[in-house]
Structure formats: structure tokens, C-alpha cells
Amino acid sequence: MAGKILIVDDDTSIRAVLETHLRSAGYQPICAVNAAEGLRLLYGEQPALVLLDVMMPGMDGWEMAARIRELSDVPLILISGRDSEADKLRGFRLGADDYVTKPFSLAELSARVEAVLARASKSAPARDRREFTFGDLRVDLDRRRVLRGEQVIDLTPTEFRMLQVLIEQGGDAISEEQLHEAVWGTLHPSDAGYVRRYIWFLRQKLERDPAHPELIHTIRKFGYRFGPE
């Protein structure tokens, strides 16, 4: 199998056509009828790529795309009947790797899937350094695991995303505004309270003495830095 592909679309006929076509192309399709189910499958199945319909009842594809980027860097292709430049730009700003407008041919979709997966595999070596050690604290970004010694520290998806962003600064400081945008995206209203609240959560879980942090440092009137002094 070439890998799992998560299809999220409320249209039964489109799901069936995509599932049959992708299976014949050697992929392992898994399907969700709405965004809530799609997010559960994303977390449980760890697909290689997500095909996401934009126009769905309840949580639409825009909101789901934003949620996906809180959880994962999985390649994402948006499918939509809306073909305006504004809609396409909105999709790319949310972190989509491609935007396919309806109607489309199955051959075109396959080509786009292959291209996105190829780009993702080529960019993977640039992220080789994915396991970090800070004293007895180990952070494995690929497996999304944090351990102190042999004890696993449970983090929520948002807590882990914030920790990842801090670590990937390589010891440099990041502003509150940049940290907010990296964790919640540009569509979420900027609020320093969100950042400070999740910094507090992380310190409670990662610091030996949260009142005197040794890893997550506040840079006065700017933001935060991660790493030992």
C-alpha cells in the first residue's frame, strides 16, 4: 500500500468514487462523513494525506483545516466548488498544500495527490533533528512523546504544538504574537491570554518547580525562550 489517505466529505457518492479510485491506485482510503469523525480518524489512523471537502454542515472544511494544523503537519488537499482567488488564498493560509476545485477528473486528483506526497517526502530530511534532550527530559517530535526518565508526560495537542514551536526556535526567543500565530493560526483572534495560559500549563507539567522555571523562560515585554540557561 502507498499509504493511508483520509477522505472527509459528507457526500456519499463522492466519498464512494474517491474511495474506489484511490484503492485501485494502491492507497488505503479511510472515510469520514463529517469533520468530527475526520478529526478522530486523523488522530487514530495517522494518514499520509487528508482530502477535505470545504462545504460541509456543522464544522466546515475551513474550521477543520485549522484544527488539523493544531494537531499535525499532515499533507492536506482541500476540495471545493468555490474557485475564487480569495477562497484559494484562504485555504493556503490555513495550511493546505493544494486546493482542487469541482468538477475535477480523477486523473487530475491522483496527480495532485502524488505531487503533494512527493513534496512531503522530499522535505522530510530537512526535519531530521526531531528528538531532543534537556537534562532528563526527552521530547520526540515524530512520535509526539514527552518523557522524564521513563515516565511519559501527557500533553494535550495544543500543549504539544506550543512545546514543538518553542523547541524549534533552537534556543532563540519567540514573541507572544508569533507563538500565538504558530499555535492557533492567523484566523484565531490574537490573545496574549491564550499564550500565557498554555505556558502556565506547560510549566506545571514540565518544570520541576513551575514557580522557578528552568526550561521555559519569560523574556520580559517580548515573549518566551525554551532551553536551559
> How do residues 159-217 score in pLDDT, each as one tens digit?
888 999 999 888 899 999 999 888 877 656 666 788 999 999 999 999 999 999 999 99
Mean pLDDT of 9-26: 92
- Whole-number pLDDT of residue 128: 52
How many residues appear in the chain?
A: 229
Q: Which CATH class is domain 4-126?
A: alpha beta
The pair phi, psi for residue 31, each rounded to 5°, is -120, 145
- Whole-number pLDDT of residue 186: 62
- Whole-number pLDDT of residue 2: 63
- Give the architecture-level CATH label for domain 131-226: Orthogonal Bundle (1.10)
> At 55, which amino acid appears?
M
Instruction: Say whether pLDDT at 126 is over 50.
Output: no
* Cα distance between residue 199 and residue 108, in whole Å: 44
- Whole-number pLDDT of residue 196: 93
- Confidence class for position 8, pLDDT limits 50, 70, 90: very high
- Whole-number pLDDT of residue 35: 92
- Whole-number pLDDT of residue 184: 76
- Whole-number pLDDT of residue 75: 92
The domain locations on the chain are 4-126, 131-226
- How many CA atoms lie less than 13 Å away from 197 in the CB half-sphere? 7
DSSP string computed for 71-136: H----EEEEES---HHHHHHHHHTT-SEEEESS--HHHHHHHHHHHHHHHHHHGGGG---EEEETT
For the entire predicted model, the pTM comes to 0.57
- Confidence class for position 1, pLDDT limits 50, 70, 90: very low
> How do residues 54-112 score in pLDDT, each as one tens digit?
999 889 999 999 888 877 788 999 999 888 888 889 888 888 889 999 888 999 999 99
